[in-house]
Amino acid sequence: MKTSFILLPLLTVCTACAAPTVADQRPPDQNDRATTASPAELAGLSTAYFASGCFWCVEEIFESVKGVKEVISGYSGGGMDNPSYYAVSDGNTGHAESVAIYYDPQVVSFATLAQVFFSSHNPTTLNRQGPDAGSQYRSIAFYQTPEEETLLRAYINDLEKAHVFKAPIITEVAPFKKFWPAEQEHQNYVCRNPDASYVRSVSVPRFEEFKAQHPELVK
């Protein structure tokens, strides 16, 4: 299966996904992990799951894509049940900071979301995005069907053949198993913290670069 086009890479990455705070060290509570969308609003939508470094940055970019109705920051790829931000940041849970994307397949395809994923981070750095190091920041494209797996592997092959990146792509293509929503303070972080130094110096410039490169994809 071949993808229809290749997006140029956007290699700006998060300079830091903040160290755990005291609040993050409390035992996880699923009641503190509500999303901004109701179950009724999410009903009937398709889902996609990706991990590409600090989830604050990743959530902001995917939220801007036409056809995407909701993006939730969380954890996936590991074996620990109900992980906390503090536990994941320790790097011992096997989980990566991830996002769950709820989208309308009549407006945006899984193929386009995969292209956004590969163009909005560096898929050639093992367990690292910029200075954020550890397996919790690794690059993973999760698939839920054989068709999605085929599409992802074909697209990686296309990127490699086109020499889009200077180094080999090390992104994991993995079957989706479970997604754990992150604590409420990590949801819509950029929108809720516009004056945070991290947001001003990293998130906003990265988002503006994405919009400039791919205006056709932005709401």
State the catalytic residues.
Answer: 54
- Angle, nearest 10°, between helix axes 146-161 and 110-119? 40
175 sits in which H/E element: strand 172-175
Q: How many CA atoms lie within 13 A of 121 on its CB side?
A: 38
- Angle, nearest 10°, between helix axes 55-63 and 204-213? 40
Alpha helices in 64-194 (DSSP H): 85-89, 110-119, 146-161, 189-192
The separation between CA 96 and the C-alpha centre of its own chain, rounded to angstroms, equals 10
C-alpha 185/C-alpha 179 separation (Å) is 17
Buried b (16+ CB within 10 A) or exposed e, 176-214: beebbbbbeebbbbbeeeeeeebbeebbeebbeebeebb
